[in-house]
Structure 1
């Protein structure tokens, strides 16, 4: 079954709660490129939990035990880890999301203990860890990355991946064929390893197309982008 998520870039718990009430399978708070700090992450995860319908994911800012551990302690069900190049990077991400003996996550569940755990084995079984395939090295190593034990899945950052395959800018039509081939390779690697494979998309139509291609989950745009688009459309209509 395919999963559809929504991307949140704004530190706005009230609007995040409303989005989480719509029925998305997950809502992801972006701490890499979004305008959200630690306090905003906690508030955002509480808003997602209050809605009671969506899983709360966090794209962490970096592949470190501190970033991953803080997101999970704050109550994230899953983490998306950016800029992963190698098997070693992937092992570090997975280990950062699991308690000993399977990893080196420090025990201090805070909010997560209310829902996920607090028994370490239960937390390890429930937490989802995804790594991003978006760099030349990540693409080159994607088969080995997907085979890392404990990994939930991989997630394509299409803007960076387009640059990684030689695009001059995200969506560069000059590399459309090589970009499509890269997506096919990533999907095949994930399928062979039996892990999930997701991608960021510009909207619902784009997401439906990617799911039809074989991606198992897709994230839709962002609250900031949609706020601007809606305001611009109303301005055009009024004028």
Structure 2
């Protein structure tokens, strides 16, 4: 899937499935990009990426046989960070901590060139695959606003109505804390959390934009897509590496042949 096709599918609210990456490993990204995912999301907020790492992982995602485009969760709603991710070749940005419609409008402006926005022109790498004409970049790049704060939830309908916004993305860990959870898995706020998730999904549907959510595993992603979400991310490489390695270690130890009496 190329950037234009991905952007078209996202805006049409088609089902898309992605994978979340925290590790700065272009070799891993190259392999993940060939598995059939529609996108890989590289986390420049909490992940282990510097600029060079982000660039190299985006380049690895573009190799022959890839089914995925590269998205970047930027570190902040900052024009420089957003522009740098897009110049490196990201098909879109996921912008964290969007509290209100003004924040969403600022994120959109940082993604679009004038007169639609304020992005500075200098697509040194991205011009090889997106653009280089501003009109092409506008068509082929997407901006997603994260809803993960109490303020963002309270203003979600206005956020979703922001002109030029392509979608919203739920950060479940922060959202659960924002509605009063004592931990990111606190079961005592599960009903309130699910109500918040439903409100966000329905606000996006009403505005006609995409709605996505972060998930711990594929089964959870399938459940959210069945509920009406239009894209879902499976997370993430560093956690899954630990889980699989632990499972194999446990299997190996449990299968050891022990001498009698040992």
2:38 equivalent to 1:25: yes
The counterpart of 1:233, out of the listed 239, 247, 259, is 247
Match of 2:113? 99
C-alpha distance in structure 1 between counterparts of 2:182 and 2:109, whole Å: 35
Shift in Å, 1:78: 0.6
SS of the aligned residue for 1:67 comes to helix
SS of the aligned residue for 2:165 comes to coil
Shift in Å, 1:52: 2.8
The counterpart of 2:54, out of the listed 8, 17, 41, is 41
Alpha-carbon RMSD across the aligned residues, in angstroms, is 0.6
C-alpha distance in structure 1 between counterparts of 2:133 and 2:56, whole Å: 24
Q: How does 1:141-220 map to 2 (within 5 A)?
A: 141-220=155-234
Q: How does 1:102-117 map to 2 (within 5 A)?
A: 102-117=116-131
Shift in Å, 1:55: 1.1
Deviation by residue 1:106-160 (Cα, 9 ceiling, x = unmatched): 0000111011100011101111000000000000000000000100000000000
The counterpart of 1:3, out of the listed 10, 16, 31, is 16
The alignment's TM-score, normalised by the length of structure 2, stands at: 0.90
Shift in Å, 1:221: 1.0
SS of the aligned residue for 1:110 comes to coil
Deviation by residue 1:63-121 (Cα, 9 ceiling, x = unmatched): 01000000000000010000010111000000000000000000000111011100011
Instruction: Give the gaps of 5 or more residues in structure 2.
Output: 1-13, 254-262
Indicate the structure (1 or 2) with the bigger Cα radius of gyration.
2
Deviation by residue 1:20-52 (Cα, 9 ceiling, x = unmatched): 100100001000000111000000000001143
Number of residue pairs aligned between Structure 1 and Structure 2 = 239
Contact conserved, 2:58 with 2:88, CA < 8 A, in 1?
yes
